[in-house]
Amino acid sequence: MHLSNFRPVKRVFDCLRILQGVRREVPAHLLMVGDGPDRAPAENLARELGIEEHVTFLGKQGHVERSSRWRTSCCSQRAGVFRPGGAGGHGLRRPARRHPRGGVPELITDGVDGFLEAPGDVAAHTARVVSLLTDDALRARMSGAARHTAETRFCTGLIIPQYESYYEEVCGRWTAAV
């Protein structure tokens, strides 16, 4: 699964090329969730690569976890690998496969709750996805770790108070300066 706003920085085309490589070794289907300027070109590339029947473009979803179209297409619990787009996002309790840029190393512990690979290295990403889709024990271990990371490091009960504290600190500095 890939979730993004389909811009060049989100590397949507790499996801399709990765699927093409993965399908040479294991049956797989890719859910593309989101919309943006690269969606139509991505749909064209899927046709060109001969994988269009193995890709579902779900379009923009308001609340992915609550969407009925999402649940009928592929329940998030069945998603073997999650690829949040670009430099943001986390694996939504699925092992994530990402590149080590931006804030990603803060989100994913390589080899524990996801994998970090160089951007554009389709072969390396393909190998990681194949390993997750073919090794049930690895996928289960990493899924459990990803869930633990999401629940203990990125839950709203933890994150929102940190934002509030930071805003209060910044506003306090601004008020003192005025």
The helix or strand, by DSSP H or E, that contains position 59, with its residue range, turns out to be strand 55-59
Q: What is the pLDDT of residue 141?
A: 95
Q: What is the pLDDT of residue 97?
A: 53
Mean pLDDT for 75-103 is 50
Mean pLDDT for 90-99 is 48
Among 29, 56, 63, 28, smallest CA distance to 42 is for: 56
166's CB contacts (< 8 A; 6+ apart) are none
| Domains of the chain and CATH, by start | 2-177 (3.40.50.2000)
Task: Give the pTM.
Answer: 0.74
- Amino acid code (one letter) for 34: G
pLDDT tens column, 2-23? 989 999 999 999 999 999 999 9
